Amino acid sequence: MIDHDKNVGQLRLMLNAVFSPFQCYGLQDYVSGAIEEVLTLADVYVARENGIDIPYPEPRVKNGIKG
């Protein structure tokens, strides 16, 4: 079984690669914050899939996402 921290680190690296095109448009300040939001949503999704009913958090995109 893969360690949770290692799994999150690998997911973070993959998301960084997915978001890399946004850095070409000067949006690199927002990439790390967006990755954190995706990881939070992924944690809630996995918990809900495992029968733990927790609410999704309010998105922090009202004023932009920065790390």
Domains in the chain: how many in total?
Answer: 1
DSSP state of 48: H
pLDDT in tens, the chain (67 residues): 678 889 889 999 999 999 999 888 888 888 888 888 899 999 999 999 999 999 888 876 655 555 5
Calpha distance 25→22 (Å, rounded):
5
What residues make up the domain containing 36?
A: 1-67
Calpha distance 29→38 (Å, rounded):
16
Q: Are 44 and 54 in contact (CB under 8 A)?
A: yes
| Whole-structure pTM value | 0.74
